[in-house]
Amino acid sequence: MSDTARTWHFNRRPDGDIASDTLALRAAPLPTPGEGQCVVRTIYLSLDATNRVWLSDWDIYMDPIRLGDPMRGFLLGEVTASRHPAYEPGQLVCCLGPWSDRFVIDGEALQPFPDASGLPLADAFAILMIAGPTAYVGMFDIGRIEAGDTVVVTAAAGAVGSLAGQIAKLKGCRVIGVAGSDEKCRWLTDDFGFDAAINYRTEDLVPALREKAPDGIDVHFENVGGEVLDAGLTCMNDYGRVVICGLISTYNSRDPVPGPYMFRNVIMRRLTIRGFVILDYADRYPEFHAALLEWMRAGSLRYRLDMVEGLEAAADALRLLYTGGNRGKLMVRIGAEPAQ
Amino acid sequence: MSDTARTWHFNRRPDGDIASDTLALRAAPLPTPGEGQCVVRTIYLSLDATNRVWLSDWDIYMDPIRLGDPMRGFLLGEVTASRHPAYEPGQLVCCLGPWSDRFVIDGEALQPFPDASGLPLADAFAILMIAGPTAYVGMFDIGRIEAGDTVVVTAAAGAVGSLAGQIAKLKGCRVIGVAGSDEKCRWLTDDFGFDAAINYRTEDLVPALREKAPDGIDVHFENVGGEVLDAGLTCMNDYGRVVICGLISTYNSRDPVPGPYMFRNVIMRRLTIRGFVILDYADRYPEFHAALLEWMRAGSLRYRLDMVEGLEAAADALRLLYTGGNRGKLMVRIGAEPAQ
């Protein structure tokens, strides 16, 4: 290995959509790890809708990325050198780290990757790191799903949405997914076991929801915002729960984005609209991982990975999330998996 | 007494603001009460912002008023004849009933008015019927206020707002009220004991909130909607609660009304936005009345009544609510209080 690391940096704040000069890939010598630090070789980088939020000048849920700083993401890596007592070379770790092929990081910022033996490593990382815990908290803690509930999931073919819908099915709910193509709708019903699917690009949402959810919606799990959220609010049942997991349709907007026009239904239907950020639930990851691993090993959770090859492809790949161009959980393969 | 009752009817659906022909006053013979029914003579009629909602063609939280039907309101009356075993002539009752000087109603739709001896009857009705229970549920059940919280109340000089703020003060919160005139702002701080007040017509809301709530907002109690709600959302603390009690700024709109532009803060600040309707809490009225009567008798709840004289003045008076023209809890005196 060379002593040089390649890292994507936040180069220019985007005015609307992420542009070709928003991020810039730069090479620099790898620093020497200090006391308590580790060197990590990146294997997989997760691309997530919330990455765009970190590049905004909004007051967000954590420190934003400052111009010039390394771009940040959720990643899986292998420790190659350690000056922290809890880690040793060869160990698999995950963290919120730089978009880099290797990097030096405080050991305190790392988490050991859980034992997912018997499962493909890429799948385990894709589900256990962010998407699975997000779907789990969103459905159980925020949505408070109960058997028999009618649940709508938007961006349902996406990483979080497809798991959220399957978790609701495992709980005994009737689940309707909203996605952006007929092909994705077929995944929902044929692969992921949803009860029904709606293509928001070709169908009129409110009539379609009234048809597919004739008894109304008890829990609406929102990843998109805008018209899709409005349609869900229109069809909610009394005392319904609206889980605001993501608002991807609004993240690239130059201008102020209006909230849902059917906001009055918060009163008319006595709704609870609640947002959450999975980073707040770090202490419950063992619970999430135990449940998710059990379902994965039982074959109860289906999953699609959209794997992009190579660190240099990461910046262009990120843009796919905001057009719906990805076909499954978007990840970047940056380094080889360790030999078994 | 004559055998004729005068009653306001829903005459024409308003296109926007309530108009002079929205309601029509008609006289008709008083029907003979059937088995289980009572005749009630109206004393006070409460005018409430939600009255406008009942005249809309929206899918609301209860049966709307159909064209031609009597207009509906919360009222206090005296039973003058009874064919229901629980009621006898001379008894004070309250109900959701017609805007009428007297009427026949099923006894099951009546509630005995609680014993408010020692208190002015008009004040007791104004507080105990709707505004007090609404403020109580909104602050405790929906807002989950705790001592030390910073609480913002909008339409704070209104019937519900002024009580909501005082209840939060009794709980040990810091309370900031938003109102529509300098005079109303003086009521808030000088009469109602709020810590600070903001005139939304003359002050820039976000900077004013940042100044008056320098530690951010924990609970936002919303009666208005629109820009006022947006400003509150902008200044919320993490895990804040947004109580949607009313959205009066939107009730007269001809066109779809956008939700709050700062809706993304539902995620960024992990907010819970929750709406409620006091009619859902009928079984807890004894609890509300016990608390409210104790505070009233201790002199802990201040109150302003804006009393309009005579049934014929009711329709014009209702319109004051949507311009902020009322100066306190808006009520109509329709008949005399019983002799003590």
Run means of pLDDT, 10 residues per run, chain B, 340 residues: 87 91 97 97 96 91 94 97 97 97 98 94 96 98 98 96 98 97 97 97 97 98 94 98 94 85 95 97 96 96 95 95 89 92
Kindly list the residues from chain A whose CB atom is less than 8 angstroms away from the CB atom of residue B259: 258-263
Residue A34 is classified by DSSP as -
Kindly list the residues from chain A whose CB atom is less than 8 angstroms away from the CB atom of residue B264: 58, 247, 250, 257
- A61/B268 Cβ within 8 A: yes
pTM: 0.94
Stretch 125-184 of chain B: residues touching chain A, C-beta under 8 Å:
none
The CB density around residue B297, as the number of other CB atoms within 10 Å, is 13
Q: Which residue of B has its CA nearest to A245?
A: B267
- A276/B58 Cβ within 8 A: no
In degrees and rounded to multiples of 5, residue A43 shows phi and psi of: -105, -60
Using the Cβ of A272 and the Cβ atoms of chain B, whether some distance falls under 8 Å is answered with yes
Using the Cβ of B244 and the Cβ atoms of chain A, whether some distance falls under 8 Å is answered with yes
pLDDT greater than 80 at residue A1: no
Q: Are A194 and A201 contacting, i.e. CB atoms less than 8 angstroms apart?
A: no
Using the Cβ of A259 and the Cβ atoms of chain B, whether some distance falls under 8 Å is answered with yes
pLDDT of residue A275: 98
- A61/B270 Cβ within 8 A: yes
pLDDT of residue A194: 98
pLDDT of residue B219: 98
Instruction: Tell me the shortest Cα–Cα distance from B273 to chain A, in angstroms.
Output: 5
Distance (Å, whole) CA B3 – CA B32: 10
Q: Which of A160, A244, A264 to mutate to test the interface with B (most CBs of B within 10 A)?
A: A264
pLDDT of residue B24: 97
Phi/psi-derived region of residue A144, left when phi > 0, alpha when psi is between -120 and 50, beta in every other case: left
Using the Cβ of B276 and the Cβ atoms of chain A, whether some distance falls under 8 Å is answered with yes
User: ipTM beyond 0.90?
Assistant: yes
Instruction: Tell me the shortest Cα–Cα distance from B137 to chain A, in angstroms.
Output: 13
A225, A245, A274 member nearest B272 (Cβ): A274
Q: Are B310 and B333 contacting, i.e. CB atoms less than 8 angstroms apart?
A: yes
Percentage, residues of chain A above pLDDT 70? 99
Please give the average per-residue pLDDT across A323-328, as a whole number: 87
A258, A264, A276 member nearest B250 (Cβ): A264
pLDDT digits (tens, 9 = 90+) for A162-201: 999 999 999 999 999 999 999 999 999 999 999 999 999 9
Number of residue pairs across A and B with CB atoms under 8 Å? 102
Using the Cβ of A1 and the Cβ atoms of chain B, whether some distance falls under 8 Å is answered with no
Which stretches does DSSP call E strand in chain A? 4-10, 23-29, 37-46, 72-82, 92-98, 102-106, 111-112, 150-154, 174-179, 196-199, 217-222, 236-244, 272-275, 305-309, 329-333
The CB density around residue B192, as the number of other CB atoms within 10 Å, is 24
A60, A267, A272 member nearest B61 (Cβ): A267
Question: DSSP letter string over A241-307?
Answer: EEEE---GGGTT-SS---B-GGGGHHHHTT-EEEE--GGGGGGGHHHHHHHHHHHHHTT-----EEE
- B276/A274 Cβ within 8 A: no
Instruction: Tell me the shortest Cα–Cα distance from A126 to chain B, in angstroms.
Output: 22
Cα-Cα-Cα-Cα torsion A100, A102, A104, A106, nearest 10 degrees, comes to 80
The H or E element containing residue B183 is helix B182-186
Q: Which residue of B has its CA nearest to A259?
A: B259
pLDDT of residue B257: 87
pLDDT of residue A66: 95
Q: Find all residues with CB under 8 Å of B43, minimum gap 6, and list them.
A: B75, B76, B77, B78, B92, B121, B125, B333, B334, B335, B336, B337, B338
CA angle B192, B197, B200 (to 5 degrees): 130
Half-sphere exposure of B95 (CA within 13 A, CB side): 26
Bridge pairing between strands B37-46 and B102-106: antiparallel
Kindly list the residues from chain B whose CB atom is less than 8 angstroms away from the CB atom of residue A61: 238, 267-270
pLDDT of residue B2: 57
pLDDT digits (tens, 9 = 90+) for A18-35: 999 999 999 999 999 999
Instruction: Tell me the shortest Cα–Cα distance from A32 to chain B, in angstroms.
Output: 36
Kindly list the residues from chain B whose CB atom is less than 8 angstroms away from the CB atom of residue A277: 267, 270
Residue B303 burial (C-beta neighbours within 10 Å; 0-12, 13-18, 19+): buried
Kindly state the tokens that stand for A226. Answer: 């805008």
Q: Are B301 and B163 contacting, i.e. CB atoms less than 8 angstroms apart?
A: yes
3-state DSSP assignment of residue A142: helix
Q: Are A95 and A111 contacting, i.e. CB atoms less than 8 angstroms apart?
A: yes
Instruction: Tell me the shortest Cα–Cα distance from B239 to chain A, in angstroms.
Output: 9
Q: Find all residues with CB under 8 Å of A282, minimum gap 6, and list them.
A: none
Instruction: Tell me the shortest Cα–Cα distance from A167 to chain B, in angstroms.
Output: 22
Kindly state the tokens that stand for A18. Answer: 């992420």
Instruction: Tell me the shortest Cα–Cα distance from A266 to chain B, in angstroms.
Output: 5
**Bridge partners, residue B26, by sequence:** B7
Using the Cβ of A281 and the Cβ atoms of chain B, whether some distance falls under 8 Å is answered with no
Distance (Å, whole) CA A152 – CA A161: 10
pLDDT of residue A273: 98
Q: Which residue of A has its CA nearest to B273?
A: A273
The H or E element containing residue B290 is helix B285-297
Using the Cβ of B216 and the Cβ atoms of chain A, whether some distance falls under 8 Å is answered with no
Distance (Å, whole) CA A13 – CA A214: 45
Kindly list the residues from chain A whose CB atom is less than 8 angstroms away from the CB atom of residue B265: 275
Q: B58-71 burial string, b = 16+ CB within 10 Å, else e? A: eebbeebbeeeebb
- B273/A272 Cβ within 8 A: yes
A258, A268, A275 member nearest B267 (Cβ): A275
pLDDT of residue A250: 86
Domains and CATH numbers, chain B: 4-113+304-333 (3.90.180.10), 142-279 (3.40.50.720)
Q: The tokens 């909602």 sit on which residue?
A: B53
Distance (Å, whole) CA B14 – CA A93: 64
Distance of CA B219 to CAs B146, B148, B213, B300, Å?
A: 9, 11, 11, 22
pLDDT greater than 80 at residue A302: yes
Kindly list the residues from chain B whose CB atom is less than 8 angstroms away from the CB atom of residue A260: 259, 263
Stretch 53-82 of chain B: residues touching chain A, C-beta under 8 Å:
58-61
Distance (Å, whole) CA B174 – CA B197: 11
Kindly state the tokens that stand for B294. Answer: 């104790």
In degrees and rounded to multiples of 5, residue A284 shows phi and psi of: -105, 10
- B260/A263 Cβ within 8 A: yes
Kindly list the residues from chain A whose CB atom is less than 8 angstroms away from the CB atom of residue B256: 261
User: How does residue A251 score in pLDDT terms, banded at 50, 70 and 90?
Assistant: confident
Phi/psi-derived region of residue A236, left when phi > 0, alpha when psi is between -120 and 50, beta in every other case: beta
Instruction: Tell me the shortest Cα–Cα distance from A280 to chain B, in angstroms.
Output: 10
The CB density around residue A213, as the number of other CB atoms within 10 Å, is 24
The H or E element containing residue B172 is none
Residue B56 is classified by DSSP as S
Name the residue among A223, A181, A177, A178 with its Cα closest to residue A50: A223
Distance (Å, whole) CA A102 – CA A110: 14
The CB density around residue B180, as the number of other CB atoms within 10 Å, is 21
Distance (Å, whole) CA B152 – CA B229: 10
- B256/A259 Cβ within 8 A: no
Name the residue among A270, A302, A257, A260 with its Cα closest to residue A16: A257
Alpha helix locations (H) across B11-158? 51-54, 121-126, 132-136
Q: Are A224 and A154 contacting, i.e. CB atoms less than 8 angstroms apart?
A: yes
Instruction: Tell me the shortest Cα–Cα distance from A257 to chain B, in angstroms.
Output: 5
Residue B21 is classified by DSSP as T
Q: Which of B50, B273, B279, B281 to mutate to test the interface with A (most CBs of A within 10 A)?
A: B273
In degrees and rounded to multiples of 5, residue B289 shows phi and psi of: -65, -40
Q: Which of B264, B273, B281 to mutate to test the interface with A (most CBs of A within 10 A)?
A: B264
Using the Cβ of B269 and the Cβ atoms of chain A, whether some distance falls under 8 Å is answered with yes
**Bridge partners, residue B220, by sequence:** B152, B242
A58, A259, A275 member nearest B270 (Cβ): A275
pLDDT of residue B327: 87
Distance of CA B125 to CAs A159, B51, B116, B140, B184, Å?
A: 55, 17, 9, 21, 22
